[in-house]
Chains A and B, each alone.
Chain A
Amino acid sequence: MSETWHQFGTRVLSTRLAHSATPAVELLVAGAILGPAPMLDLIRIHHDHIDDRLDTLDDVLVPGLARITDDSGALLLRLLGRHADSARVDALQAQLTAGLQEFSILQAEEAEPEVFTALFEALVTSDGEAGHG
């Protein structure tokens, strides 16, 4: 298993995004866990699906946008913030962070591929409920 946790996390969030009714949640979590650049990559990949749900997305997306620290980036983050329930972002981020921690431990323990698949499926299908015990 040569996939990095960055790649794994991107794959999880990308799969979730493809079916998400509230993509702003997944995008903000992507930005908080993976960084702004992967978040922008996800926006590009799922542009049409996200645009259907965030109607002003194209107003703030500048073609060729590469960094998020400029004015357009700040506008985009404010737009996402308006469309995301922060409790859901917190819950999903907590779950993803725990999942990525588990992923790294599995890698260190050289776990079987099926176990990674099980973790991926669990993270993709989780409902974002907070807490463990």
Chain B
Amino acid sequence: MALVVNDVARGAGTGYDHTVSRARLATALEASLALRLQNPFQRTVRQAMRAVVAARLMPPPRAEMAAWSTWWRGLPRVLRSDRAAALALFVGVGEGYPLEGGQRRMQAAAEWIAGPCDAAAELASRSLRVRDRLERIVGISPAIRSLRAAAWAAAFGDRLDRTLALGSMLQSTPVLILGETGSGKELIAQALCAAAPGAWSNRGGYAAGHADAVNLASLPDDLIFSALFGHRRGAYTGAGGDRAGVLEQCDGGAVFLDEVADLPLKAQVALLRSLQEGRVRPLGADVDVAAAPRVISATHRDLTAAVARGTFRIDLYYRLSSVVLQVPPLRERTEDLPLLAETILRAVEPELRPVILERFQGFLAGPGADYRWPGNVRELAAVLRTLALGLEPRLLDLADTRRPDLPLAIQDGDWTLDEVKRWYVRQVAELHPTRAAAARQLDIDRGTLRTLLKT
């Protein structure tokens, strides 16, 4: 990347005045075009992009359409007939505008392009929607910046001009989002759902792809089948009509399965089958129907522990976890607190915001100084609400019960007594130089210790 930037920067000093050789200009423009199509949340890409814009090889965001027209006309003919160039143009003209404003500019740009450009305009619209969603994940910490870059890659791969070619592979690559409760898993899921292919028409604008969400923890077991796979009339008492499940409804789009660790074992088998075959059989139906959405799932639980315990199928775990995104807890990104607070405070009247912000600043300097935010961003919102009422926030410090050195499954109460016993025996054995010393600590004989370590 550094080579590209330097090359671009050197060749670009003269901007559009064409005093550089045409070959040199073509190379620089091709490089700027390639940059436009890369992951916008990646540090190297951002830096290179700035260099390119600063060198006037590409108009900056929200530039006049005339500047984009000049840029487009300056591209060598061979590039202008390339779909990648059309894609770069649509992303460029739409960037920095609300959806409708960006669409209007894309419509205008579509007139400059010879040949069909619907696929490029659709992908450009989609990429701007996803970028908008990811930018709503507020934060400047390295952890959250890496997460945004990884989520973008999960949505589109490393270059937008290859995304359409990757289409079916991306669609069949599930994403698993892990993170504590309240940490923002749903925002990532919404961004990935916005990456579902939609439709673009240069008259009607952009229609988003089909996407829906199901919270599996909130549904009774017997309704989960119906919600996911659908049912036919009379399949069970109360099934008054045909109903398509969410997997069928979102065929070709995306579905978000929240709290996937709470999926009952029987439903896990059916979900695995549907993921493998791209089809489901609704309850009471004789034939399968097409149902191949991209599956985005999330959980705050330790799924590998659930696999070890036998409550989550290992084959489904592997199927769902092709891409794993880990959302950092708020205590690991406290530098994001001020920006997060401002964003949350936009829900109250403007004249109240300064007062609440002042109270929050006082809270952070006082009782909240070393707070670990066990409820993450959701808890931050609750604290701000309490402060808005002029009350003292009630801090739920789980330091005594939530310890980073203990497995999450223990803290969540997910293990059986036997599992806890086996884990603890291994811990103690590792902490002592001899088995005799470990046995003494555990108040058991060495033979029992050996037996426990083997299980």
Contact flags A62-82 to B (C-beta < 8 A → 1, else 0): 000001110001100110110
Confirm or deny: B54 has a beta carbon within 8 angstroms of a beta carbon on chain A. yes
- B-chain residues with CB within 8 Å of residue A55 when the two chains form the complex: none
Pairwise interchain contact A68-B358, C-beta atoms closer than 8 A? yes
Contact flags B126-158 to A (C-beta < 8 A → 1, else 0): 001101100100111010010000000000000
Interface of A (DSSP majority class): helix
Given contacts A101-B139, A114-B54, A115-B54, contact A31 B354 (CB under 8 A): yes
Pairwise interchain contact B47-A35, C-beta atoms closer than 8 A? no
Q: Which of A96-133 contact B (CB under 8 A)?
A: 97-98, 100-101, 104-105, 108-109, 111-112, 114-115, 118, 122, 129-133
Confirm or deny: B277 has a beta carbon within 8 angstroms of a beta carbon on chain A. no
Name which residue of chain B comes closest to A67, CB basis: B358
Interface of B (DSSP majority class): helix
Pairwise interchain contact A131-B99, C-beta atoms closer than 8 A? yes
Tell me, in angstroms, the Cα distance from A88 to B54 when the chains sit together.
Answer: 30
Which of the residues B99, B102, B142, B358 comes within 8 Å of A108, measured between beta carbons? B142
Confirm or deny: A17 has a beta carbon within 8 angstroms of a beta carbon on chain B. no
- A-chain residues with CB within 8 Å of residue B94 when the two chains form the complex: 133
- A-chain residues with CB within 8 Å of residue B140 when the two chains form the complex: 101, 104-105, 108
Contact flags B310-343 to A (C-beta < 8 A → 1, else 0): 0000000000000000000000000000010011
Pairwise interchain contact B97-A97, C-beta atoms closer than 8 A? no
Pairwise interchain contact A101-B354, C-beta atoms closer than 8 A? no
Pairwise interchain contact B135-A32, C-beta atoms closer than 8 A? no
Residues of B within 8 A of A (CB): 43, 46-47, 50, 54, 60-62, 94-99, 101-102, 128-129, 131-132, 135, 138-140, 142, 145, 339, 342-343, 345-346, 349-355, 357-358, 361
Residues of A within 8 A of B (CB): 28-29, 31-33, 35-37, 39, 67-69, 73-74, 77-78, 80-81, 84, 86, 89-90, 93-94, 97-98, 100-101, 104-105, 108-109, 111-112, 114-115, 118, 122, 129-133
Closest 7 CB pairs of A and B: A31-B354, A81-B351, A133-B128, A131-B98, A32-B353, A133-B132, A104-B140
